[in-house]
A and B are shown apart, each in its own frame.
Chain A
Amino acid sequence: GQNIDQPTEMTATEGAIVQINCTYQTSGFNGLFWYQQHAGEAPTFLSYNVLDGLEEKGRFSSFLSRSKGYSYLLLKELQMKDSASYLCAVRDRKQAGTALIFGKGTTLSVSS
């Protein structure tokens, strides 16, 4: 994911709100995805943005600005089980067609 940047690690406390940023560079942008991955497990889908704006799904929201090449994932009312790696991924038709290009992931640690 050399064209996708996200922070390596973040920490937060239970009940707090955390925002994980992602910036990207593509030549054929066709959607941005956020996945959650617990250690040793498969990535699981959280959200999908293809148009600018905010998508809300329960405690999770994702924002996209295509002109800025920027997205964020917002996690509210943090719980201990939210400790995981959060992967930002883009679909770029000119790089990998329909496949997703992933960032390195942000490891979130939630403490009590």
Chain B
Amino acid sequence: DTGVSQDPRHKITKRGQNVTFRCDPISEHNRLYWYRQTLGQGPEFLTYFQNEAQLEKSRLLSDRFSAERPKGSFSTLEIQRTEQGDSAMYLCASSSTEGTEAFFGQGTRLTVV
């Protein structure tokens, strides 16, 4: 396992379409995080899973966003009825225990046109 992987790396979609991103964390990591990053800003926390349970959700996560981690391994983030403001880099990170660093994936860059 070489690290956190995300797919796709880039996604261009028309406004109003639905998109889904996938994240495969480091295999032994039970904690998984989704962040969103726009140009010139630091990553903003969206949601957190411990195994298959979604334990935390940011106020940033509107009703159009949903995330799953069905078997406690990979995770998906879906955005419904995309808006231009959703254009950003979506980063996934995983960690093994609290107090240790989180390892980030390369991200999925979403452009809504």
Binding site for B on A (CB under 8 A): 1, 4, 30-31, 33, 35, 41-45, 48, 50, 87, 89, 96-105
**A42 lies within 8 A of B45 (CB):** no
**B103 lies within 8 A of A50 (CB):** no
Q: Which residues of B contact A87 (CB under 8 A)?
A: 42-43
Contact A33:B101 (CB < 8 A) given known A97-B56, A98-B31: yes
The interface on chain B, measured as residues whose beta carbon lies within 8 A of the other chain's beta carbons, has a size of 25
| B25 interface residue (CB < 8 Å to A) | no
**B106 lies within 8 A of A45 (CB):** no
- Using CB atoms, name the residue of chain A closest to B41: A104
- Enumerate 23 A-B pairs (CB-CB under 8 Å) in ascending A order: A1-B41, A1-B42, A30-B98, A41-B106, A42-B104, A42-B106, A43-B43, A43-B91, A43-B104, A44-B104, A45-B102, A45-B103, A48-B99, A50-B99, A87-B43, A96-B48, A98-B31, A98-B56, A99-B33, A99-B56, A102-B44, A105-B41, A105-B42
